[in-house]
Amino acid sequence: MGGGVYSQDVAQTFRSTATEAFAFEAHQPGAGVAKPRTVHAALNPFGKKREVNNETPIVVALDVTRSRGDDTKLMYEKLPMLMGQIELKGYVPNPGISFAAIGDATVDRAPLQVSQFEGDNRMDENLGRVWIEEGGGGTGQESYELCAYFYSRTNAVRLAKGIGKKGYFFFVGDEGFYPKLDREQVRRVIGDELPADLDSTEVFRRLHEKFHVLFIYPNKGMEQRKSDIDAEIKTRVEAAGGQYANVDIRASLLWNNRNDLDLHVVPPSGEEVYYAQKKSACGGWLDVDMNIGGETTKPVENVRWAKGSAPKGRYRVFVQNYGFKEAVHTPTDFRVEIEVAGEVKQFTGTVSQNGETGPSSNVLVYEFDHDPAAKRPEPAASPADPYAQYSDEVILKQWATVIPSERILRIDDPRSIIDVLLGALAILEGTTTLDGYLVDMRSRNQTEERIAEVARALGGLGPVRRVGSVEGLVPPPPPPGKDRGGRTKRIG
């Protein structure tokens, strides 16, 4: 696919008349019938290829989970400017853009969406079809490696015969990736059969063979990260009908697979609150109990005492794996949020390290004392910081193992994503320098603050080094008498 010319007039007309961009109801299957939302057929990666007829293939892969959903809307809003500047300044020749939307394959219904490569106003339509699910599992990881795998496949991206240079690939997000590419996720989402899970470093290595890969990383303060992580628990509890606010004591358990984990709380009276005794005489109530039948990959359980009802004394909270519902019996990571007298603590853990179920799988999470008439004393030892793995430093350290550090482009303001992307294209292509691009930004009346941010982000970039006219995306011409049909080089 691809080809054609992007028209600014068509783009503006489309935006003034199209009402379905990112609308939840726009592509519900079945008119007038309430059914679960699905990925638009044009963006479904299952069994699909993406063809390029443009000289410069570009992929923009956007995180559409809770923390980054608005980035896709910004891209849609600024796409006419992006294409206009490419044409006006000649930053890259004849671009064709494929948009990808990345979720979390462990929990989301739309973990990967991929559009065809286009060079004209079909890009507007493709981007407007994206389902911004705003999911994610609250683990600090999204399925970037699944997206990388799709575009690295030998038969997934086909280029027109004779095009011999690498494309450009931009991830836009603020989370880490999963260390392993899960073969079951590949089978379910993409339709490929892999003999085993694949190390994610190998997946990204293969992607580098086809594209110049960059990561645009909007910085996020730790308080904002904590807010996003905590919001996932609140959302699940309230969606399931549980009580999250106005409590003396609340324990909420979150995990991200179909196994039947159970939350147990033992109050001072000793009458354990759990699935077999959901209400205690002392006011405790298990008001959300999920995955009895393995019905969801976004489960939560919730035990709470309403405000003014929790008795004085010691409480114990533990997690148990009642039974496996997943086909493969592997350990399950979990998160527990405990609120006591308005103070909230987060805990992480793993259950069934060796395949245990029932009482033998019990993991003690926290013990505490509650006195309604006095301030609760601090515990002797504070639990390990459960947010530590979500810090910028940890996430960027992981990305630096698969993308050169100079191509990890950090920004503070998400509104600069398009400026950074455009500048990276121009600098890598060698059509201008960083100084020249900053002059271009001033000519379109960008603020000095935005210009300074872009300068910081792009300061380490230089033009791509090329050997001849071939950059590895398409093999050299075959020997006389052999017709390869323009197929791309096999990489695994």
Blockwise average pLDDT, block size 10, the chain, 492 residues? 70 67 50 60 91 90 79 84 92 93 86 92 87 72 94 69 75 93 94 95 95 91 66 87 95 93 96 96 96 90 95 96 92 91 86 94 94 64 58 90 96 93 96 96 95 96 65 37 33 30
User: Is residue 432 included in any domain, yes or no?
Assistant: yes
380, 406, 421: which is the final residue of a domain? 380
> How would you classify residue 253: left for phi > 0, otherwise alpha for psi between -120 and 50, otherwise beta?
beta
Let me know whether 147 and 127 are in one domain: yes
Let me know whether 229 and 292 are in one domain: yes
DSSP for 433-489, written as a single string: -HHHHHHHHHHTT--HHHHHHHHHHHTT--PPP-BTTB-SSSPPPPPTT---TTPPP
Q: Report pLDDT for 221.
A: 62
331, 356, 380: which is the final residue of a domain? 380
**Taking the CA atoms of the chain, what radius of gyration do you get in angstroms?**
25
Which residues, in sequence order, are CB contacts of 435 under 8 Å at separation 6+?
none
Q: Report pLDDT for 21.
A: 59
Number of domains in the chain: 2
Task: Report the alpha-carbon distance of residue 297 to residue 185 in Å, rounded.
Answer: 13
Let me know whether 44 and 100 are in one domain: yes
380, 402, 430: which is the final residue of a domain? 380
Q: Report pLDDT for 19.
A: 56
User: Is residue 38 included in any domain, yes or no?
Assistant: yes
User: Is residue 481 included in any domain, yes or no?
Assistant: no
Alpha helices, H only, 182-292:
183-189, 200-210, 222-239
Residue 117, domain CATH: 3.40.50.410
Max CA separation in the chain (angstroms)? 90
Let me know whether 211 and 228 are in one domain: no
Let me know whether 53 and 92 are in one domain: yes
Task: Report the alpha-carbon distance of residue 461 to residue 438 in Å, rounded.
Answer: 14
Q: What is the mean pLDDT of the chain?
A: 84
User: Is residue 439 included in any domain, yes or no?
Assistant: yes
Read off φ and ψ for residue 477, nearest 5 degrees: -55, 140
What is the sign, positive or negative, of the torsion defined by CA atoms of 93, 99, 104, 105? Answer: negative
Give, rounded to a whole angstrom, the gap between the first and last alpha carbons of the chain.
Answer: 24
Let me know whether 201 and 240 are in one domain: no
User: Is residue 1 included in any domain, yes or no?
Assistant: no
Let me know whether 298 and 177 are in one domain: no
Let me know whether 51 and 160 are in one domain: yes
Let me know whether 267 and 325 are in one domain: yes
User: Is residue 476 included in any domain, yes or no?
Assistant: no
Domain that holds residue 259: 224-380
Task: Report the alpha-carbon distance of residue 368 to residue 378 in Å, rounded.
Answer: 9
User: Is residue 474 included in any domain, yes or no?
Assistant: no
Token pair 């059509």 is found at: 431
User: Is residue 387 included in any domain, yes or no?
Assistant: no
Q: Report pLDDT for 344.
A: 85
Let me know whether 230 and 359 are in one domain: yes
Let me know whether 351 and 399 are in one domain: no
Q: Report pLDDT for 64.
A: 87
Tokens standing for 23?
């609308």
* Residues shown for the chain: 492
Residue 271, domain CATH: 2.60.60
Report angle CA 252, 349, 291 to the nearest 5 degrees: 50
Q: Report pLDDT for 472.
A: 39
Which residue type occupies 484?
R
Let me know whether 411 and 340 are in one domain: no
